[in-house]
Amino acid sequence: MQVWIRLLATYRRYAPAGYEAEGIYPVQAAPGARVADLLAALPIPPTDSFTFFVNGRHAERDQVLHEGDVVSIFPAAGGG
């Protein structure tokens, strides 16, 4: 099935060549794939803290993905 990855802010640098400007690109996922499966396959360093949404809504890592879902990922913001 096809789902979409939307990388935001500085994470756009991890998008495949040709997709950096928009930061959104399609990926193939196995039926029944979960958000965690998709996140594990991304080139984002495993030590990074980030936030993610599925179709604009907060999601859990064990949420099952469906055809056409958009997973948006952005680095955690710090502040004081």
pLDDT of 33 reads 97
35: CATH: 3.10.20.30
pLDDT at 80 over 80: no
Its domain, for residue 26, covers 2-75
Q: Is there a domain that residue 80 lies in? A: no
How many structural domains comprise the chain? 1
pLDDT, position 44? 94
Summarize pLDDT for 47-63 with one digit per residue, the tens: 999 999 999 999 999 99
42 in a structural domain: yes
Cβ pair 35, 16 in contact under 8 A: no
Q: What is the pLDDT of residues 22-49, one digit of tens each?
A: 899 999 999 999 999 999 999 999 899 9
Q: How confident is the model at residue 20 (pLDDT cuts 50, 70, 90)?
A: confident
Name the burial class of residue 43, with classes exposed (0-12), middle (13-18) and buried (19+) by CB atoms within 10 angstroms of its CB. Answer: exposed
